[in-house]
Amino acid sequence: MNTAVEPVTNLTPVQKQALCELLLALADDEFVMGYANSEWTGIAPILEEDIAFSSLAQDEIGHSRVFYEMLATLEEQSADSIAYGREPSGFRNAQLVERGRGDWAYSVTRQFFYDTADFVRIESLQKSTYQPLAKAAAGIIREEKYHLLHANTWLQRLAEGNAEAQQRQHTAFDALWPDALGLFEPTSGATELLATGILPEPFEALQNRWITRIEEPLRRLSLPFPFIDASERWDTHITPIYGGRRGEHTQSFLDLYSVFTSVYQLDPEADW
Amino acid sequence: MTDTFVVSEETLWDALHDVPDPELPHISLIDLGVILRVELDTQAAFARVLLMPTFLGCPALEMMRDMIRERLEQFDITVQVDVTDEQIWTSDRISEEGRRKLEEAGIAPPAPNNQNNTIMLLEPAPCPHCGSRKTSLESAFGPTLCRAIAHCRDCKQPFEQFKPL
């Protein structure tokens, strides 16, 4: 019998540390993406999208809360102090989610990359041997189908739009590929998590599945697809931007950070 | 000391019919199906209510907790409301009465839950105004996380649709 499929209950200190790194990556991606998306509230090109991006933000911050609360239980501190009380270098989000919103094409293309990646990893985490994580993933995945629907609608809308829409979409693709691959940067201690099945699959496998998922819509819409099938895996000339999972962040993260921590820094006990 | 405590679990369930969904006041928390269990300890005059979250980012959850507590404390008991992940809420838990009330309020009730999350074919909801099935989803996001915006090609009216989850 394969012991890796048994639910994990007692964590060694090393496993716990690795699990916290994974949960932080999941939580911080959703949290920072949520804040970045809320930047469209009030100024999106059409009312429906104002509502859509605000709802995406609400969903994502809601999902981040689930992961922060899991961390709060493991680390015996409050979810708020984990979310708002860390230094910028303590954040484990990929750099993709911290970039400024750019133009509309940039934001919806990023959303397409991110939502598909998030779907792939949450789908996989339903099989985690760490029960709280598996349960959370099973709840979250059901909401993600609406994100995918939204992202795919805009991918198609721009691809079938006028010359300016297509040109902006292509510019966005060029800018986003290295960051998108950066979403699959392994978290610290990932090997440890794989051995116990807390992480059911390596990040590389998730990346390959992500590429397989985006292939269909990209080919159908004659959009760029810079990957070559190298049997069992995809090859590419694109160099991923790593660092986010180690706490390396850009100036745009610091800008966002100073906004989303402003209330907490005024009063850590503030309640709303 | 004699125990004159008379409230029953059934009474508590009945009382929860009075607590509306803060974002969809036409239906109660019972109609919505978010109450998993009520555990009553008559000896201790204590009730524990297990509440299931709907959409995970829904800001109404905290309000629901407070409203449940306030309603049940009227029976002179101590009430604790715990959010549970013991079972996952789905829109299939909305009662027949809840579905009817939603429709009366102009909100199309959710289609049966599509368990395959990778398939994005959402069944078109029948129009709550004219009953036509010639409708299309305009936006997956509406006034609250649980509602989407659809359009009826027959009566040419927009309407809201409770999202299947």
Span B9-83: which CATH code? 3.30.300.130
Say whether pLDDT at A4 is over 70.
Answer: no
At residue A57 the predicted structure's pLDDT band, cuts being 50, 70 and 90, is very high
From chain A, the residues in CB contact with B143 under 8 A are: 51
Whole-number pLDDT of residue B118: 54
Q: Closest partner residue to A51 among B85, B142, B163, by Cβ?
A: B142
Question: Cβ(A26)–Cβ(A250) under 8 Å?
Answer: no
Mean of pLDDT over chain A? 94
Is the ipTM here above 0.90? no
CATH number at residue A123: 1.20.1260.10
The helix (H) or strand (E) run that includes residue B81 is strand B78-83
What does the pLDDT look like over B54-77, one tens digit per residue? 998 888 999 999 999 999 999 999
Interface of chain B toward chain A, CB-CB under 8 angstroms: 53, 55-59, 85, 88, 90, 117-118, 120, 122, 138-143, 145, 148-149, 163, 165
Q: What is the pTM of this model?
A: 0.92
> Which token pair is A257?
């950070």
Whole-number pLDDT of residue B2: 47
Q: How many domains does chain A have?
A: 1
> Which token pair is A178?
């290295």
Question: Cβ(B67)–Cβ(B22) under 8 Å?
Answer: yes
Cβ atoms < 10 Å from Cβ of A141: 18
Between chains, do A62 and B138 touch, taking CB under 8 Å as contact? no
Between chains, do A62 and B57 touch, taking CB under 8 Å as contact? yes
Helices (H), B48-93: 60-72
Domain locations in chain B as residue ranges: 9-83, 101-162
From chain A, the residues in CB contact with B58 under 8 A are: 62
**DSSP one-letter string for A190-235:** HHHHHHHTSS-S-HHHHHHHHHHHHHHHHHHTT-----EE-SSSEE
CA–CA separation, B111 and B80 (whole Å): 33
- CB contact, 8 Å: A138 with chain B? yes
In chain B, pLDDT over 70 holds for what percent of residues? 91
Backbone φ and ψ of B87, nearest 5°: -135, 145
CA–CA separation, B127 and B148 (whole Å): 13
Q: What angle do CA A61, A74, A129 make, to 5 degrees?
A: 85
Q: Cβ contacts of residue A38 below 8 Å, gap of 6+? A: A53, A54, A57
Between chains, do A59 and B57 touch, taking CB under 8 Å as contact? yes
In chain A, pLDDT over 90 holds for what percent of residues? 92
Domain limits for position A191:
13-266
- CB contact, 8 Å: A149 with chain B? yes
In a domain, A7, yes or no: no
Q: Closest partner residue to A142 among B59, B141, B165, by Cβ?
A: B165
**Counting beta carbons within 10 angstroms of the beta carbon of residue A177, is it exposed (0 to 12), middle (13 to 18) or buried (19 or more)?**
buried
> Which token pair is A5?
């499929």
